[in-house]
Structure 1
Amino acid sequence: MKSIRKMSLMLLVMAFILAACGSSSGSNNKAGEEVTNKDEKVKLSIWHNFAGDDLRAKTVRGLIEKFAQDNPNIELDAQAIPPDGYRQRLSTVAAGNELPDLFFVYAGSHSTELYKAGLLQPITEVVDANPEWKDNFLPGAFDPYTFEPDKIYTAPIGMSATSILYYNTSLFEKYSVKVPTTWDELMTAVKVFNENKITPIALGNKAPWVAQSTIIGSLADRVTGTEWFKSASAQKGAKFTDPEFIEALGYFKQLVDNKAFQEGANSIDNTQAEQYFIQGNAAMMVSGAWTLTNLAASSSEEQMKVVDVTVLPSIPGGKGDPNTISGGAGGGMALSKRSEGAVKEAALKLIYAVSGPEAQKAIAESNSMVMYDTEIDQAKVSSLYYKAFNLVKKTNITPVYDAYLSAEAGEVINNGLQEIMVGGTPESVAKKLQDAQARSITP
């Protein structure tokens, strides 16, 4: 009996030990699961087109790499795709609803099409969570990416400024020419430089978007005003055959007829025109912010020191604001509709990392324009970029034509400007443009 009681006691103790072990083992497993969940990496994919060797591309890639280093719990799959094939590749995966979590989009028709297809979701929460960041963007920065009231779909990480008037100060001083602020002063400058065998304005319009993007959008806006152009683009209350637009094309024809551009401007490209200008063969050039980056990479500081920047001159009786440059928000990172939970949180964090205040400053200091009010270290940029950066900060932005026109109409105005340069008429080009845009609007 005594031995039975002893055995029963031993069994009871063993039962308690086993129960305790079981309990302990269960507790450890649970804790282990929690650690595993906590340490589990969030997989985040991002596509962008900053694949080149220019300073801007290197800067953006550096920001993405730093984000990956600072967030080891995020497994980042970042793909840098060359710009020439980027849009097509993105369209291909979009058609199969297989977009990455984050991807670079362009302002205008590109982001609008993705939104209308229901492939995007707003990033408003990260913008509203950082009001000081939001408030330092320049006016209009979010306009191309606000598709519903109070819903923002992208934060731009660059700026498109397309109609900066570059001029060679040494040539203006040598021939005692006033930097033009009015159309008459511009035509006087054209006359004086031609008389001295200096090309007045360098232009490389082999790819026909150049004259449209750099000259006609800004020039026409001074004649018609911005609201007229938006109405004509929407085909509501205005048409491209209206007298004011024909007048605007007439001013472009004046430049052609007075030999403002070098011979064969339709047969050289924009890069060749930049080199023609920086080498002192032309007194002026109307070009975009991309020229700042190109010249910083290909020209000496001595060459750039004699170049200054301003806006196109005013037009007599014009309805538009003369203190403007055509352009707008550059591209930014968009958030896929499919991203949710921890992936969405990681994506929003990365958006801030590549477009927040520190990122905007870094991109600006890579000699690239940003649509953000930031201070930059003058020693880190070219002298020419610093001048342009401060010009753009105090200048209003007007639309670039091909950002609003249909693809067909954009091609028509591009080719039409080439036609005017070889003898075509403003009336003929205006009618072709009106017909093309009307076809794109009519259901």
Structure 2
Amino acid sequence: MKAKGKIGLLLLIVALLLSACGGESGEKAEGSKGKEEKVKLTIWHNFAGDDLRAKTVRSFIDQYKQDHPNVELDAQAIPPDGYRQRLSTVAAANEMPDLFFVYAGSHSSELYNAKLLQPVTEALDAHPEWRDKFLPGAFDAYKFEADQVYSVPLGMSATSILYYNTSLFEKYNVKVPTTWDEMMTAIKVFNENKITPIALGNKAPWVAQSTIIGSLADRVTGTDWFKNAVAQKDAKFTDPQFVEALGYFKELVDNKAFQEGANSIDNTQAEQYFIQGNAAMMISGAWTLTNLAASATEEQMKAIDVTVLPAIPGGKGDPNTITGGAGGGLALSSRTEGKAKEAALELIYAVSGPEAQKAIAESNSMVMYDTEIDQAKVTSLYYKAFNLVKKTGITPVYDAYLSADAADVINNGLQEIMMGGTPESVAQKVQDAQARSVTP
């Protein structure tokens, strides 16, 4: 009995030792594995507000953090007013976060030229069913070299939507214009009935340029001509087709398309003038959808529909287009690599993927993505505009391509035409300013 007791005790001790050793090695393995997979990732963005879009984007960042416990995510939401300055400061010191929000245009191209970005093409190629549902031109602003994309847009800029009051068109038996002659007829009928044909608030002179002339001119000249004129290669802003485009704008002015004093009221005042039924039409951007959602009744908005500007006879541009382009998106630091890069690309997909695009659209914000939305979650006017944009092409907004000097000239030049200036004079000034920027 004594010997058996000793043997039993010995076996128990051995079993306990083996168990302890096994547990220790398991803990070490688990700890080693956990340590190996732990990734630190930083992201900066400017979705800091209380608006629905900002809350939506932040919710997808939070969801990613919850779904990836191995990632130590440092997410900073910086108010838009100070965002670019904060980013410029760390850019100067080459201390960029792993991911950061960038704007399409000069902002992202300057960061690319400073070698602070790397492509995010891998994320798109890993999900071709997602990549292929972006609208045409969605990546154009972020393709700084062939076959490489440097950001995925979270939104869309649409600047030349033709809003019209269906009640007024029905009351005065006016056809919604699809040709220039029909537009002139509509303007004539509404003026005869003491209704302003087109509401315009051009106190800040970018409005007429951003909402009207880019789209109108593209119908006359075509997009290729405009890009060549910007580059000053085989095209100039004094060419007959651009003078003709400015002539169509002058025709609107001469036929009293806009209300008196359009150069002295702002865009918000024009929106209110329109939604209150004082004007039959308004040519404006997607921002009007947001503004009216906050200030107009649903009954007022149900009376509004949207379309594109009418075709120009003999024009070289596609008439089924609006001016606009990609909104901002997340960019990847050129210094991020290894596991952190893998995690960052996954985060881009999480925040810019199909579910996120749908949710952003349902926050009454335009996206450059072909998605279906729940009509009950958006305003009636947004739903109409969203479906319009999905079926139209996108052409350049002038001030996104012109030099800063030339953009100021065209902005002020349209005000001049509204006060009696000539298309030829304005065209010459735009040409001189753009030529100086290309060959100073």
Task: Name the TM-score, length of structure 2 as normaliser.
Answer: 0.91
In the aligned structure 2, how far is the partner of 1:419 from the partner of 1:64?
47
Match of 2:205 in 1: 208
Which of 77, 84, 89 is the matching residue for 1:80?
77
Distance 1:88 1:242, change over 3 A: farther
In the aligned structure 2, how far is the partner of 1:61 from the partner of 1:191?
49
In the aligned structure 2, how far is the partner of 1:114 from the partner of 1:387?
36
- Corresponding letter in the other structure for 1:218: S
In the aligned structure 2, how far is the partner of 1:418 from the partner of 1:330?
28
Which of 282, 287, 303 is the matching residue for 1:285?
282
In the aligned structure 2, how far is the partner of 1:158 from the partner of 1:191?
37
Which of 229, 234, 240 is the matching residue for 1:232?
229
Q: 1:34 and 2:32 equivalent?
A: yes
Helix, strand or coil for the counterpart of 2:153? coil
Percentage of identical aligned residues: 82
Match of 2:435 in 1: 438
Helix, strand or coil for the counterpart of 1:147? coil
Residue 380 of structure 1 and its aligned partner are, at CA, apart by: 1.1
- Corresponding letter in the other structure for 2:82: G
Match of 1:12 in 2: none
Match of 1:388 in 2: 385
In the aligned structure 1, how far is the partner of 2:254 from the partner of 2:66?
58
In the aligned structure 1, how far is the partner of 2:269 from the partner of 2:46?
24
Q: Which runs of 4+ in 1 moved over 3 A?
A: 23-33
5+ residue gaps, structure 2: 1-17
Q: 1:306 and 2:338 equivalent?
A: no
Match of 1:273 in 2: 270
Which of 255, 258, 263 is the matching residue for 1:261?
258
Residue 73 of structure 1 and its aligned partner are, at CA, apart by: 2.5
Q: 1:358 and 2:370 equivalent?
A: no
Q: 1:373 and 2:379 equivalent?
A: no
Which of 122, 129, 149 is the matching residue for 1:125?
122
Q: 1:188 and 2:185 equivalent?
A: yes
5+ residue gaps, structure 1: 1-19
User: 1:270-314, CA deviations, whole angstroms, 9 ceiling, x for partnerless residues?
Assistant: 222212111111110001112112222222110110000000011
Match of 1:16 in 2: none
Residue 31 of structure 1 and its aligned partner are, at CA, apart by: 3.6
Match of 1:57 in 2: 54
- Corresponding letter in the other structure for 1:257: D
User: 1:386-420, CA deviations, whole angstroms, 9 ceiling, x for partnerless residues?
Assistant: 11111111111111111211222222211221222
Distance 1:428 1:135, change over 3 A: same
User: 1:42-98, CA deviations, whole angstroms, 9 ceiling, x for partnerless residues?
Assistant: 322222222233222221122222222222322222222333333333223222222
Q: 1:417 and 2:389 equivalent?
A: no
Most deviating of 245-254 and 49-58? 49-58
Match of 2:11 in 1: none
Most deviating of 226-235 and 337-346? 337-346
- Corresponding letter in the other structure for 1:431: Q
Q: 1:145 and 2:142 equivalent?
A: yes
User: 1:186-244, CA deviations, whole angstroms, 9 ceiling, x for partnerless residues?
Assistant: 11211221222211111122222111111110000011111100110111100011111
In the aligned structure 2, how far is the partner of 1:29 from the partner of 1:381?
51
Match of 1:167 in 2: 164
- Corresponding letter in the other structure for 1:344: K
Which of 395, 398, 407 is the matching residue for 2:395?
398
Q: 1:98 and 2:95 equivalent?
A: yes
In the aligned structure 1, how far is the partner of 2:45 from the partner of 2:337?
20
Most deviating of 410-419 and 180-189? 410-419
Most deviating of 290-299 and 133-142? 290-299
Match of 1:3 in 2: none
In the aligned structure 2, how far is the partner of 1:329 from the partner of 1:140?
8
Helix, strand or coil for the counterpart of 1:165? strand
In the aligned structure 2, how far is the partner of 1:234 from the partner of 1:209?
21
Distance 1:240 1:123, change over 3 A: same
Which of 299, 307, 315 is the matching residue for 1:318?
315
